[in-house]
Every structure is written in C-alpha cells, then in structure tokens.
Amino acid sequence: MDSMMMDSMKSMDMMPGMEAMDMALMQACMDACSACEQACTVCATQMMDCSPACMNCADMCNTMMRAMMRMQGMTPAVMMSMLDACMAMCQLCMDMCMKHEAHSEVCRMCAAACKACMDACMAMRASMMAA
Amino acid sequence: MDSMMMDSMKSMDMMPGMEAMDMALMQACMDACSACEQACTVCATQMMDCSPACMNCADMCNTMMRAMMRMQGMTPAVMMSMLDACMAMCQLCMDMCMKHEAHSEVCRMCAAACKACMDACMAMRASMMAA
Amino acid sequence: MDSMMMDSMKSMDMMPGMEAMDMALMQACMDACSACEQACTVCATQMMDCSPACMNCADMCNTMMRAMMRMQGMTPAVMMSMLDACMAMCQLCMDMCMKHEAHSEVCRMCAAACKACMDACMAMRASMMAA
Amino acid sequence: MDSMMMDSMKSMDMMPGMEAMDMALMQACMDACSACEQACTVCATQMMDCSPACMNCADMCNTMMRAMMRMQGMTPAVMMSMLDACMAMCQLCMDMCMKHEAHSEVCRMCAAACKACMDACMAMRASMMAA
C-alpha cells in the first residue's frame, strides 16, 4: 500500500473507535496480507495437499486487506474478529506448507508469508486491544 | 449450491473433524452466503453510508462460501473462527442497512440477506459445537 | 439472483447504453456465473491438472457476476470485453475438465457449469450486439 | 510479487505457449494489477459516482493478477482476452476518476494506478503478440 494513498485514507470519515488505529501497523498488515495472498495463490497451483488451505488463505487475506482499506464500513470489534479468522487461517496454511519445506521452495516461501501475515495481524490486534 | 455437487464434496478426503459436519446445514449456509454476497454487491452500488460495510460483507461472504467448498483445507476450529467473523460482519452490515429500510428497498433486502446469512452461520456453528 | 433484487437494480441510474440491456438474459447470466464459480471452486480442490484453470474460472466468473450487478460502473463496450474474457476462460476450463469426465463426476459437473456459463454469456453478448 | 517467488513459478509446468512469456513484463504487470486493486478499493469507499467502476476495476485487477500467477491453467489466447478486458475496465475507471482529479486526491491517485495498470497490460500483450 502506497503511503500517499494511506494518508488519504486517514482523511475519510471513520466509525467510532477506528480513528484510534495505528496506521503504521495497519499499513504493514495490509502489505503482509497482500504478500500472503500472492504466495498462497502460487503455492495452490502446485496441486499438493496444502493447496486447498492455500486457496482459503489467499481469499481470507484478500478480504482482510480490503477490509482494512474500508474503515468507513468497519468497527474495532468486527475488525478484531476478522483478524482472528485471518490469523487462524494463516496458521493452518503455514502448518500444512511447513510439512513440505524440505522439498518445495514454494511451500517454504508460502509458509514464511503466512507467518509474516499472522505476526502483522497479531501486532495490529494487540494495538487495538491497548487503545 | 447444487445437491449433486454437494454429494460429490462428501466423497473427497477431509481433515479430521470435518467429516462430522452437518452437510444440510452447510449447504444452506453456502446458499445464504451466496445470496448475501449478491445483495451486498447491489446495495454497495447505491453509494449510501452503508456501502463500505456492504463491500466488506460481500467479500467476507464470498470467502466464507468458498471455504465451505474446500473442506480439504480447513479444520473445525478455523471454520468456527471464520464463521464468527462472517456473523460479525453481517451483523454490522445489517445494522447499517436497517437505518435506511424506510426509504430504500435495496437496503431492506440487503439487511434481510445479512440476517439470513447470520442465522445460517449460527446454525452451522452450533452444530459444530454439538459434534 | 433474486428477482426482487433484480427489479431494484433497474431503478438505479445507469451509464448510457446500459439501460437497453435484456434484464432476463442478464439475470440468467449472473446465475450461470454464480453456479460456475461454485462448481469450479469444488473442482479445483481435487488437485488434478484442471485445478489451476478451475481457480482462474472461479475468479473470472465471480468478477463477471459482480460487474453485472454494478451497471452504474460499466459501459456496453467494457461489458462485452469482459464477456469475451469470461467465455474464453470457461471454454478452457471446460476443455480441461472434459478430459476427466470418464472418471470424475466433479469434473463432469464442472464442465457442464462452464458450458452453461459460456452459453449465457454468449446470449447476453448477442443481445447487446443487436441492441 | 517477490522475485524469488516469481523464479519458482518458472519451474512449474506450463501450457504450450506460456513458457515464452516475458517474465519481467509479467512481474511488472502483476505488481501494477495489485497496486490498482488497492487504489480502486480505497477510491470506491468515497461513495462518489466513480465508485461502482472502481469496484469493478478492483475485482478485475485481482482476477488478472491471480491468473498471471497460475500459468498452469492458462493459454496465451485466454490471457490476451483477459488482458483486453482488464485494459478496458482500467480505461473506464480512469476516465471516471479523472473527472474528479481537481478536488479528490484519492481519485487522482486511482486514475494514475489505472493508467499504470493499463500500460503494463499493454506491454505484456504486445510481447505476447511478438512471441
């Protein structure tokens, strides 16, 4: 996510509670979701037993990324529920891809992208709890 | 979702715990997600203050529907987390559209589709807890 | 797509040329896209050599369906270009799934859904050319 | 798209004709699609008259990006048809957002992202014609 575009998001009206969000963490989280969607999409085309989890993870990460870009249609409580779902899905996808890390470079990169996405979601969720 | 296609899903390998799912409830839930995605997509184009919530809800419902079709890449715990996120998003979208029910027939239909989707997700989640 | 929701779409403002579209054909086309997305999503999880084409077809059909629901952001020329892309993708997915029709019921159903979607897109495109 | 992930894509089996694609142009095109999806998603939440076109453009760009990541399920002919649809959609979205460039910074950035995506698709299409 481009930082100029990010700045412009801040100027739009938001729902109560959303204006307190840490925009730097959110930008990092959107980028991690985007990278994870891409890694999962490539990994899913390998047609290994992780593929269906990768497809689910790609869709969930795209939905999560878009939701962070639409703060006008979101509350902190719904955002946290979606972050939980996204972290759970990333964890499952990572676990499945890790089983192939010895022989598939794509799975290894996909697992790393899932881990980075999970961490970014966790950091964002923690900052929302603290707010 | 076509019942013949649904039957064929049952014959694929699933992760532990997924084979116990109530397929009739899941079929109803997928159909409710699909209807909700469609209603939200139409409602979002009205460019009212519910639009961003409708866009989020359409994406979440599509992701939820697809995840139910890929039981090979899902565990009961992750499924429940996604159902929670989907219900939370439908509730928010419904609440925002309900404010316009007096003057927008589209918002009234969208709120009804969100309610039906929420109910279907709840029924499915309850059956998973009981299993 | 619910016919009441469909009726309400007609009352929204449209771009020049879009108001001449045959709404019955469009409703049939949206339903065929939705059914095709679902069939392709299930078929893709089988992890056969048709899976990547099924994933592409599921995404294209969802994008096509949503575009038909947003006639405020569309012109006849762009719609026809998207219909061409959707038909081309459905044809490829159908061809790949047909190779497995003897031993996979899911592939057979997916090919049928692709064929139906292609036909519905063709009918809609033809009516737009005639308008 | 990460260049290491991109390299790994090249090692997967592809359909006839796809192996001749210019991978540097494709990487640039995927990145432009991703940036355009993000800009359009933000722009759509402004609820201006460009919003429905932005929603369509976001969906088409995501579908285009994912299709480039799944070269196992694609032929050059289908890819060119999808590139045509993506360019047509980007052009329309750009035209609508350009009307607001004087008073909306978000629309100006969205129009620029649409233009960059159109150019990247055009470069890729031209290289495919030459191949």
Domains of chain D: 22-130 (1.20.1270.360)
**Which tokens go with A95?**
């676990």
3-state SS string over chain A?
CCHHHHHHHHCCCCCCCHHHCCHHHHHHHHHHHHHHHHHHHHHHCCCCCCHHHHHHHHHHHHHHHHHHCCHHHCCHHHHHHHHHHHHHHHHHHHHHHHCCCCCCHHHHHHHHHHHHHHHHHHHHHHHHHHC
User: What type of residue sits at position C123?
Assistant: A
pLDDT confidence of residue D15: 76
- What is the C-alpha to C-alpha distance for residues D8 and A100, in angstroms, rounded to an integer? 15
pLDDT confidence of residue D61: 98
Taking contacts as CB-CB distances below 8 angstroms, the residues of chain C near D49 are 72
pLDDT surpassing 80 at residue C84: yes
Alpha carbon of D41: minimum distance to chain A alpha carbons (Å)? 7
What letter would DSSP give residue D109? H
pLDDT in tens, C22-42: 999 999 999 999 999 999 999
DSSP assignments along B63-105, one per residue: HHHHHHT-GGG--HHHHHHHHHHHHHHHHHHHHHHHTTTTT-H
Interface residue of D37, D38, D47, D49 to substitute, partner B, most B CBs within 10 Å: D47
**Which tokens go with A48?**
């290994």
pLDDT confidence of residue C14: 76
- Helices then strands, counting H and E runs in chain C, come out as 5, 0
- What is the C-alpha to C-alpha distance for residues A123 and A23, in angstroms, rounded to an integer? 12
**pLDDT interval class at A131 (50, 70, 90):** confident
User: What type of residue sits at position A45?
Assistant: T
pLDDT confidence of residue A9: 81
Q: Computed from CA positions of residues C82, C76, D123, D65, in that sequence, does the dihedral angle turn out positive or negative?
A: negative
pLDDT in tens, D80-129: 999 999 999 999 999 999 999 899 999 999 999 999 999 999 999 999 98
On whether any CB of chain A is under 8 Å from the CB of D38, the answer is yes
pLDDT surpassing 90 at residue C7: no
The verdict on a CB contact (< 8 Å) between A55 and C44 is yes
Alpha carbon of C38: minimum distance to chain D alpha carbons (Å)? 16
Query: Token match 């999962």: residue?
Result: A40
Which residues, in sequence order, are CB contacts of A11 under 8 Å at separation 6+?
Answer: none
Span of A39-53, B2-16, D28-42 with lowest mean pLDDT? B2-16
Give the distance between the most distant pair of CA atoms in chain A.
Answer: 49
pLDDT in tens, B13-52: 777 788 888 999 999 999 999 999 999 999 999 999 999 9
By Cβ distance, the residue of D48, D49, D55 closest to B44 is D55
pLDDT surpassing 90 at residue A3: no
Chain C residues 60-119 with a CB less than 8 Å from chain B = 62, 65-66, 69-73, 105-106, 109
State mean pLDDT over B89-96. 98
pLDDT confidence of residue D53: 98
Residues recorded for chain C: 131
Interface residue of A43, A50, A69, A78 to substitute, partner B, most B CBs within 10 Å: A78
User: What type of residue sits at position A1?
Assistant: M
What letter would DSSP give residue B12? S
On whether any CB of chain A is under 8 Å from the CB of B127, the answer is no
CB contact at 8 A, D17 and D74: no
Query: Token match 């409708």: residue?
Result: B54
ipTM of the complex: 0.95
